[in-house]
Amino acid sequence: MGRYAARRLLLACITLLGISLITFGTVFLVPADPAAMIAGEKAAAQTVESIRRQLGLDQPIYVQYLRYVWRLLHGDLGFSYVRKSPVLPYILHFFPATLRLAAAAALAQLAIGLPIGLVSALKRYSGVDRLGMLFALVSLSIPRFWLGLLLIYFLAFHLRLFPLGGYGGLQHMVLPTLAMGITGSAWYARVFRSSVLDEIMADYVRTARGKGLKEKTIMLRHIAPNAIRPVITMWGMDLGYFLGGMVVVETVFNWPGIGLQAWKAVRSLDIPMIMGTVLFASTFIIVSNILVDISYAWLDPRVRLQ
């Protein structure tokens, strides 16, 4: 287990290095000058050039990248020349808001998707099954930003049941949580239904029925624990993605999390903030994948980490 974890951590560091290289190169392909944006439209050329030298933007790209990697190795994600603050503390300041929404959205996906998938599997090929899969198909087809706008228009603007957006108590979390939960639950419903159907046909289920066990006991103690494994993989990846920031949903609902700050950084071409946010989000996704793989061996003794 220890060797496996160490190997995965090494691969994670290499992956993050590759992500930083791709992101750094992509950002510098944007036809815009950060120094000119900071100085303003009417700034003199000398002022723009002075800002460029102060920020190190006059250096070759490979020199700037090596300096950036060197700072990363010391835990420094850079300094935002738009926000006038270090990148990492700025991201951590907005992380609690993203954490609240991510936890609520991840649980909402399970709460909506798993019951639909389970009922569809138990009532397979019936009207209930077709209705559940129709819901999944429609949910998969709806963009999250469009569903969010619909929820705001009907439930917040017309019915005035919830706030239009912003950050606050539980009422502010309902609509963004629904926007994430409804669209994401479709994947869980389909995967869990397929997994339950596979387990129902397994030999150990027929053996359990032959021993006279009740269907409820067979489902809860035998089928569900085995069928839940693919769901755990999806949930771990989604949670890592959510913790890295939900750009679309946070922007639609004006939720002050990492995703909204990333969108603002892109609009202002704040390169250190863009780089820091991407690496921060990528770290959560990679770590969540490692934890999911390790949890497999704990949940199922038949799984061995090779």
- Tens digits of residue pLDDT in 243-297: 766 888 999 999 999 988 888 888 887 888 888 888 888 888 888 888 877 776 6
Q: Tell me: do 237 and 270 sit in the same domain.
A: yes
Residue 142 burial (CB count, 10 A): 15
Report the distance separating Cα 91 and Cα 98, nearest Å.
10
Q: Tell me: do 220 and 283 sit in the same domain.
A: yes
Select from 252, 260, 103 the least CA-distant residue to 175: 252
Out of 39, 58, 86, pick the residue that ends a domain: 86
> Which is higher by pLDDT, 4 or 171?
171
Q: Tell me: do 75 and 176 sit in the same domain.
A: no
Q: Tell me: do 67 and 197 sit in the same domain.
A: no
Q: Which domain holds residue 135?
A: 88-299
How confident is the model at residue 297, as a pLDDT?
65
Q: Is the pLDDT of residue 206 over 90?
A: no
> How many structural domains is the chain composed of?
2
Q: Tell me: do 13 and 137 sit in the same domain.
A: no
Is 0.95 topped by the overall pTM?
no
CA 72 to chain CA mean position, Å: 22
The answer to whether residue 305 sits within a structural domain is no
Token pair in block for residue 268? 């202002």
Q: Tell me: do 29 and 102 sit in the same domain.
A: no
